[in-house]
Amino acid sequence: MSKPNTLWSWFWMIVGGLYFFLPLLATFEFSLKARKGVYSFLAYERVFADPLFLRTFIFSLEMAVFTALAGILLIFPTVYWIRLKLPQLRGLIEFVSMLPFVVPAIVLVFGLIRVFSGAPFFLTNTFAGTNILLIAAYVVLTMPYLYRSIDTGLQAIDVRTLTEAAQSLGAGWGTILFRVILPNVRVSILSGSFLAVATVMGEFTIASFLVGIRAFGPYMSLVGQNKTYESSSLAIISFALTWAFIGLIQLLNRGRVQTQIAGAH
Amino acid sequence: MTYLLLSNLSKYYGNTLAVENFNLEVERGEFVSFLGPSGCGKTTTLRMVAGFEVPDQGNILLEGEDITYLAANQRMVGMVFQSYALFPNMNVADNVGFGLSVRKMPAEQIRQRVSEILKIVQLEDLQKRYPYQLSGGQQQRVALARALAIRPRVLLLDEPLSALDAKIRVELRAEIRRIQQELKITTVYVTHDQEEALSLSDRIVVMNKGRIEQIGTPFEIYNYPQTEFVASFIGQLNLIPVQVVDREGGLYRIGGQTIQVEQNHRTPLSSQPKLAIRPEEVKLGQVEGWNQLTALVRQVSFLGAIVRIWLEVEGVSLLLDVFNERKLVLPKVNEKVVISFPHHACWVL
Ligand SMILES: Nc1ncnc2c1ncn2[C@@H]1O[C@H](COP(=O)(O)OP(=O)(O)O)[C@@H](O)[C@H]1O
Ligand SMILES: [Mg+2]
């Protein structure tokens, strides 16, 4: 690489870094100002002291985990099958997977309520029913992330030959999917799930219409409207959690990633 | 009873003919190769035996059982791929034991069988390695061990050596044959490399454009090719245009020189008859009772064990191979020489 090129890369990295970190720093600084005249963690203490914080956080985390699981169970076999047997349909499926980016969440949630609150479903009549509806909506909402990452993961391995090798050794579809293919796209599935979880944790529109203040998104919004400093500290907390999560996944996959990359060629 | 019978197999992809009217009988323990240029239908035929493709016509019988429509995972047929296709997430032992664990064999037995088979392919020390930690040759040995571990009824190999370096290729080739003989396993081997097919096989099926050109032992295929395609695809072959003097008597003319051909394996004479002869059948100098031609030396190239001489006969080029010896006297370029070949060594196409 030539010198000017390196300089430019550094320049853009610094510009990008400032763009990213300055607002974060400002928010953090602001969140420390709850007590007049001195920096303190008062706002953070108040947030943690609020029982609603933990309750909504755990509720949304549960929803997020179920969303990721349901999404994987739905999308992984589908993408695998399309790569194996119907490669000509890939364009169409890719288009469908992008629809959630185009259809506004508000439209989605009204549609869901309209269809599933009446006969023969009556899903919104119970907590469990509403939760199921919420998860279903989130599966749709997070589909682009999961689809993309799983599809990219499958692209890196020779799906067809691995499948045939397993078949000739006597394996059925379950064995092939979960013992041969899945372990090789573990990293992509995890990173897709992570994006899905992060999306669900902060989601506002669908949650507020279906479950209201029981979810973390609406709770954060409520705090933001009423309590200035606490809302900044909440933003910082969720950011820290996100990063801890990324770090955890990186840690879990350190050995794995190497295996997969080296095994690809 | 024939062990593996392919009867009247045809397969089309849309309008593309992949395989047509394929008939073959393979005996138990036999090593049969499919040989032909790329796109001639070798892989398609093999995949029908493996159960990855369903023929449009015809049947496949294994030990008398019709397996034409049997699912691939029910066939007990081992397959080795050009790209190795090892499971990247499993180590060598787990790869080799995969087919056994799918069949719910007890772990202890799997361990034993895996060690046993890895010993045969000479990889017993690498059980804990992952595929990415192995060389190409080692990976293909693991793939072979994995296919053999289930004790398949037939072993299928699709260009298993094509991705390897020349040296490893020759080594592993010998290894495959040794293992095949040791286990007496019925084997179908696909290759476009004639040397591989000739050196490995009990019999060779030469294919072209989806059809069988000839089936025979390597010796038969090489020495008695039945079609022009087989003759020119396998080995070096001189083809020299000739004029017919007396077809029944086997008399032909090249320019002003007359030659005699023993018509022991005749093929239909084409509109432009050509004399066919292998370079190693042509000798320098006069031999009593043989055909003789005068020729001009164009180039001499020393290949080691063999010296290849490019000649020109009546304006047509002709190759001549001689074995190297220390006392060999090589002709000079542009020298006029006499060459000879026996009547039985040549034929007219
Ligand atoms: N899945 C497929 N779809 C369409 N055409 C195919 C397919 N597989 C093979 N063919 C065609 O069938 C013919 C035989 O192919 P193949 O059996 O792979 O030849 P080989 O293995 O001898 O190189 C070729 O013309 C090839 O293009
Ligand atoms: Mg092929």
Tell the residue nearest (CA) to atom 7 of ligand 1.
Answer: B13
Model pLDDT, residue A260: 44
Model pLDDT, residue B333: 93
CA distance B90 to B101: 13
Instruction: Flag if A158 and B89 touch (Cβ within 8 Å).
Output: no
Per-residue model confidence as pLDDT tens digits over A36-70: 888 988 888 888 888 988 899 999 999 999 999 99
B125 burial level (CB within 10 Å; 0-12, 13-18, 19+): exposed
Contacts of A188 in chain B (CB under 8 A): none
Distance from CA of B61 to the nearest CA of A (A): 17
Over residues B285-297, the mean pLDDT reads: 93
H helix or E strand, kind and range, residue A81: helix A51-85
Atom of ligand 1 nearest to the CA of B38: 23
The per-residue pLDDT of chain B, averaged, comes to 93
Q: Looking at residue B172, what DSSP letter applies?
A: H
Q: Please tell me whether residue B271 adopts helix, strand or coil conformation.
A: coil
Model pLDDT, residue A257: 47
Per-residue model confidence as pLDDT tens digits over B87-120: 999 999 999 999 999 999 999 999 999 999 999 9
Superfamily of domain A42-253: MetI-like (1.10.3720.10)
Per-residue model confidence as pLDDT tens digits over A10-36: 999 999 999 989 999 999 999 898 888
Chain B residues contacting A, CB < 8 Å? 50-52, 71-79, 81, 83, 85-89, 98-99, 102-103, 130-132, 143, 146-147, 150
Gyration radius of chain B's alpha carbons: 24
The residue ranking higher by pLDDT, A256 or A56, is: A56
Q: Are B271 and B277 in contact (CB under 8 A)?
A: no
CA distance B209 to B216: 18
**Ligand 1 centroid from CA A208, angstroms:** 56
pLDDT at A145 over 60: yes
All structural domains of chain A with their residue ranges: 42-253
Q: For residue A215, report the phi and psi dihedrals to the nearest 5 degrees.
A: -100, 160
pLDDT at A163 over 90: yes
Prior bond of B331 cis (ω within 30°): no
Instruction: Flag if A165 and B79 touch (Cβ within 8 Å).
Output: yes
pLDDT at A223 over 80: yes
CA distance B55 to B67: 11
Model pLDDT, residue A212: 86
3-state secondary structure B12-57: EECCEEEEEEEEEEECCCCEEEEECCCCCCHHHHHHHHHCCCCCCE
Model pLDDT, residue A64: 93
Instruction: Flag if A170 and B73 touch (Cβ within 8 Å).
Output: yes
pTM metric for this prediction: 0.84
CA distance B3 to B194: 25
Tell the residue nearest (CA) to atom 5 of ligand 1.
Answer: B13
Q: Are B75 and A171 in contact (CB under 8 A)?
A: no
Going by their DSSP bridges, the two strands B306-313 and B291-302 should be labelled as antiparallel
Instruction: Flag if A158 and B83 touch (Cβ within 8 Å).
Output: yes
Tell the residue nearest (CA) to atom 11 of ligand 1.
Answer: B18
Per-residue model confidence as pLDDT tens digits over B217-260: 999 999 988 888 998 899 889 999 999 888 888 899 998 889 99
The residue ranking higher by pLDDT, B15 or A118, is: B15
Over residues B20-35, the mean pLDDT reads: 97
Q: Which candidate in B73, B95, B113, B157 is best for mutational testing of the A interface (most A CBs within 10 A)?
A: B73
B184 burial level (CB within 10 Å; 0-12, 13-18, 19+): exposed
CA distance A124 to A126: 6
Q: Are B137 and B172 in contact (CB under 8 A)?
A: yes
Q: Between the CA atoms of A9, A11, A14 and A18, what dihedral angle is there, to the nearest 10 degrees?
A: -130
